[in-house]
Chains A and B, each alone.
Chain A
Amino acid sequence: MAESHGEAKGQNAGAHTEADGGHHGGAFPPFDSSNFPSQLVSLAIAFVALYLIVSRFALPRVGGTIDARQNKIEGDLAEAQKLKDESDAALKAYESELANARARAQAIGNETREKLNAASEAERKSLEDKLAVKLADAEKQIATTRTNAMSNVRGIAADAAGAIVQQLAGVTPDANAVNSAVDASLKG
Chain B
Amino acid sequence: MKIDPIHQFNIEPLFTLGHIGNYTIAFTNSSLYMFIAVLLIALLMLASGRELVPGRLQSMAEISYEFVASTIRSNAGADGMKFFPLIFSIFMFLCVSNLVGVIPYTFTIASHLIVTFAMAIMVFLTVLIYGVYKNGLKFFKIFVPSGIPIYILPLVMFIEVLSFFLRPVSHSVRLFANMLAGHIALKVFAGFVAMLGFSLGALGWVGGVLPLALTIALYALEILVAFLQAYVFAILTVIYLNDAIHPGH
Listed in ascending order, the chain A residues whose CB lies under 8 Å from chain B are 2-3, 5-7, 9-10, 12-13, 16-17, 20-21, 24, 28-32, 35-44, 46-47, 49-51, 53-55, 57-59, 61-66, 68-69, 72
Whether B28 contacts A42 by the Cβ 8 Å rule is yes
Whether A9 contacts B45 by the Cβ 8 Å rule is no
| B129 CB–A CB distance under 8 Å | no
Whether B114 contacts A54 by the Cβ 8 Å rule is no
- Provided the pairs A6-B177, A37-B25, A58-B46 are in contact, do residues A50 and B38 lie with their beta carbons within 8 angstroms? yes
A-B pairs, 9 with minimum CB distance = A10-B177, A58-B45, A9-B181, A55-B85, A42-B31, A46-B34, A37-B23, A29-B9, A13-B181
Looking at chain B's contact residues, is the secondary structure mostly helix, strand, loop, or mixed?
helix
- Provided the pairs A9-B177, A12-B181 are in contact, do residues A31 and B113 lie with their beta carbons within 8 angstroms? yes
The interface bits of chain B over 47-65 (1 if a CB of A lies within 8 angstroms of the residue's CB, else 0) are 0101010100010011001
Contact of B62 among A21, A41, A65 (CB under 8 A): A65
A165–B179 Cα distance when bound, in Å, is 162
Give the shortest distance, in Å, between B75 (CB) and chain A (any CB).
16
Give the shortest distance, in Å, between B140 (CB) and chain A (any CB).
26
Nearest neighbor of A6 in chain B, beta-carbon distance: B174
Q: Provide the residues of chain B in CB contact with A21, threshold 8 Å.
A: 6
| B217 CB–A CB distance under 8 Å | no
Whether B50 contacts A65 by the Cβ 8 Å rule is yes
Contact of A2 among B17, B173, B232 (CB under 8 A): B232
Contact of B42 among A42, A53, A68, A72 (CB under 8 A): A53
Whether B6 contacts A43 by the Cβ 8 Å rule is no
Residues of B160-208 contacting chain A, CB below 8 A: 170, 173-174, 176-178, 180-182, 184-185
Whether A58 contacts B41 by the Cβ 8 Å rule is yes
Pairs A–B under 8 Å by Cβ, sample size 21: A2-B174, A7-B177, A9-B177, A9-B178, A9-B181, A10-B173, A12-B185, A21-B6, A29-B9, A32-B11, A35-B112, A38-B13, A38-B31, A39-B28, A42-B34, A43-B34, A46-B31, A47-B34, A47-B89, A50-B37, A61-B45
